[in-house]
Amino acid sequence: MAAAKEAKKLGLSYTLLEASEPFSTIINFPKGKPIFTYPKEMTPAGDIKVTAQVKEPLIDEIRAQTADIKPRKSFAEAINRKGKLLEVALRGEEALLARRVIVAIGRSGNFRKLGVPGEELDKVYNRLHDPKDYAGKKCLVVGGGDSAMETAIALTQAGADVTISYRNKEFSRAKPENIEMVLQLTQNPQADVSVQNPVSERITTATGDFMGAPPKAGRLRLLLPSKLKKIEPARVIITTGEKEEEVLDNDIVFAMIGREAPLAFFRRSGIHISGEWNWGRKISLAAMLSVCTFIYHWKKTGIGGFEHIPLLRNIVSIGEVFSRNQWFPYNITAHWQDASTPLAQTLKITLGEPGFYYSLAYCVIIVLFGIKRIKRRETPYVKLQTWTLAAIQIVPLFLLPYIILPWLGHAGVFESGWLKKAADALFPLAGYGQGREYWRSFGFILAWPLFFWNVFTGQPMWTWLAISAVQTFVIIPGIIYFWGKGAYCGWICSCGALAETLGDDHRTKMPHGPKWNKLNMAGQIILAAAFALLIFRILGWMHVGWAEKAFAFLFHDLPVFNYVWFVDLLLAGIIGVGLYFHFSGRMWCRFFCPLAALMHIYARFSRFGIVANKKKCISCNVCTSVCHMGIDIMNFANKGLTMKDPECVRCSACVQSCPTGVLSFGQTDKAGRVIKIDEIPASPVQMAEKS
């Protein structure tokens, strides 16, 4: 309706299709239902304004504002491309052609099914129209969201005997006001549960049908957690514990467990539905994993994992094959004879290394997709964060090891004095590549145990050990204390740089929910393996023979599951990047990174949190859906709690995407009081409010 009004105002030719009647969703709300229309500080951009607080006045109000819009009664079946136009197929009518189509069909799909015997009985409803019809009846309400809460409240107040059955131990999805009312009614069904609307006006719900005088109050009881097992004509059977069952006399069941989105419409229109797996998607995932397997084996010569499996021994060393056959990039500088200057000497070697091209591609992708991210999420926070990530990736992680250090080396800078001492300690002489191990400079940025090559060395490299210890055990806990784990994962780390740029389009693909959350602990196992290796390594340096053997076995000799191949190559590289376009860019960071696992421990003591202004939250779930660490941020926001999940990487997507500016980065004291709000603006809504 708002779009149609706007189109009319602009003089566009438009058609508004409506399958049922305008505002049918609202018309189907229970009689006298209170309407939560906050936050009022946010004015909708369109011409339709809403002030009413109860269903009936709301319908009058919006009907009056849209009297000039005449919808056409038609059911849109699908949208398909027809040349430069879009063709809207209509049920039983000729198709319509349009330049642009706005799909605003709501969640008008099918009601979710309970999936229990007896569901088809006449006494099972998905909607409550007039609560008064059920006075004195025994009602079961199944569900824990707002619809279930509001149904139970209305029924209780209309004099019904109500039981709520919900699968979880406590309510978390519903609005706090609704939960509060339900809890009050369980104590005292006659309680005045009028609530204070968050925008300060009082809405009254302690009435029989939300509007009239209450008849004799009913009864409300909660069965949490519980699961409806069977519906019979005069009773219901509910599982309440492992094996315990409760049988309740019952007249009516309200299955208020939500609706399926109208997915069939999108399927018919050929629009991909996130999370759905068809053959095309499976094949594209397999192809992506194969490409990553190739790239990572091509990049790393001499690293197997299958060396101990005779049949596979020869196929793993792709890099070795390329090197022996002088294929790309080994052939690039083969005919470069005259490399007399230090820069030419550097490039002659660097341009023949796969790692150079890998890092170059990494930098280019981060810059290109970083610019895209900055354009999409126009906040100073995203701009600063993206350029910081790109700068770290380009200078210390690419130019320094591949160009600057070798160039200085060929120019003789490391041949005498304290610079020679420093170079000997940090980049020892080597009989390959540039003559010194300049690649160890990755260790300036990438800390142990993410980057372990400077620690797990044949002989202790004392300077690197000192640097790594200060990084991992002093600097990182320090920054986490103030700014959370994201200060490293979202602002410094190269895995984070790729995830926040290339992965930005795919962030909503990260799986959420308790089952996946259990896998969050996988990183702790890898962290334990890293610490075990560290202990064996130190004992090995102290000439403890068995420890040296244990280290070698776990580090590279164990078939397939050795640390180098399994963790560094398979999980961090092949799986981590291979799942980017199907499961988001943070799979490695969330589940497997051992440094992240260590930081989760530090983060328990951090002041950092995402602070929520509960009054503005409309429980739209946008924040949760954009979180590529799988955090259910809405669950904190709509309760006004500070989100302190250690997984958070400070990407700012939730803060930036929240349509009402609920969220802010901040710090809390030990008692949980907010002591600081970040100064770098990260929420466009808050920025607009301030200006």
Alpha helices in 304-445 (DSSP H): 313-316, 318-324, 342-350, 354-376, 380-394, 405-410, 417-426
Q: Can residue 629 be called a binding residue for ligand SF4 (CB under 6 A)?
A: yes
Residues numbered 61-80 forming contacts with ligand FAD, rule: CB under 6 A = 75-76
Rounded to the nearest angstrom, the gap between the alpha carbon of residue 307 and the centroid of all alpha carbons in its chain is 38
Among 3, 7, 19, 248, which residue interacts with ligand FAD (rule: CB under 6 A)?
19
- Which span (18-26, 152-160, 184-192, 416-424) binds ligand FAD, by CB under 6 A? 18-26
Cβ distance to ligand SF4 smaller for residue 158 or 626? 626
Closest to ligand SF4 by CB, 44 or 545: 44
Question: Quick one: tokens of 349?
Answer: 């070697």
Nearer to ligand SF4, 238 or 626 (CB): 626
Could you give the string, one character per residue 574-613, with x where binding to ligand FAD holds by CB under 6 A and - elsewhere?
----------------------------------------
Minimum CB separation of residue 616 from ligand FAD in Å reads 13
Give 561's contacts (C-beta < 8 A, 6+ positions apart): none
**Dihedral angle at the C-alpha atoms of 43, 373, 638, 49, nearest 10 degrees?**
10
Q: 3-state SS of 97-151?
A: EECCCCCCCCCCCCECCCCCCCCCCCCEECCCCCHHHHCCCEEEEECCCHHHHHH
For ligand SF4 (CB under 6 A), the number of binding residues is 27
Token digits of residue 176? 């706090």
The interface region with ligand FAD, picked from 102-110, 270-278, 472-480, 646-654 by CB under 6 A, is 102-110
By CB under 6 A, tell whether 134 contacts ligand FAD: no
Instruction: Tell me, residue by residue from 165 to 184, as one string, x for binding to ligand SF4 by CB under 6 A and - for no binding.
Output: --------------------
Distance CA 227, CA 239 (A): 5
> By CB under 6 A, what part of segment 379-398 binds ligand FAD?
none
Of 4, 5, 16, 35, the one binding ligand FAD (CB under 6 A) is 35
**Backbone Cα Rg of the chain:** 31
Residue 672 near ligand FAD by CB under 6 A = no
CB of 147 or CB of 624, closer to ligand FAD: 147
Give the shortest CB-124-to-ligand FAD separation in angstroms: 17
Catalogue the long-range contacts made by 630-638 (C-beta closer than 8 Å, 24 or more residues apart). Answer: 630/510, 630/511, 630/512, 630/513, 630/516, 630/517, 630/520, 630/590, 632/512, 633/663, 635/172, 635/173, 636/610, 636/612, 637/612, 637/662, 637/663, 638/175, 638/176, 638/612, 638/614
> Segment near ligand FAD (CB under 6 A), from 103-111, 346-354, 395-403, 651-659?
103-111
Candidate residues 105, 344, 360, 403; the one interacting with ligand FAD per rule CB under 6 A: 105
Can you tell me the distance from the alpha carbon of 407 to that of 410, in angstroms, rounded to the nearest whole number?
Answer: 5
206 close to 191: Cβ distance less than 8 angstroms? yes
CA angle centred on 511, ends 510 and 513, rounded to 5°: 135
- Partner whose footprint covers residue 19, from ligand SF4, ligand FAD, none (CB < 5 to 8 Å by kind): ligand FAD
Contact set for ligand SF4, span 603-622 (CB under 6 A): 610, 617-622
Q: What is the DSSP letter of 170?
A: S
The answer to whether residues 17 and 90 touch, using CB atoms and an 8 Å cutoff, is yes
Stretch that binds ligand FAD, among 25-33, 202-210, 284-292, 310-318 (CB under 6 A): 25-33
Q: Which of 126, 562, 638, 667 binds ligand SF4 (CB under 6 A)?
A: 638
Strands 663-668 and 608-612: antiparallel
Q: Which is nearer to ligand SF4, 460 or 681 (CB)?
A: 681
Write out the residues near ligand FAD by the rule CB under 6 A: 17-20, 24-26, 29, 35-37, 75-76, 104-106, 108, 146-147, 265
Write out the residues near ligand SF4 by the rule CB under 6 A: 610, 617-623, 626-627, 629, 631, 633-634, 637-638, 648-654, 658, 660, 662-663
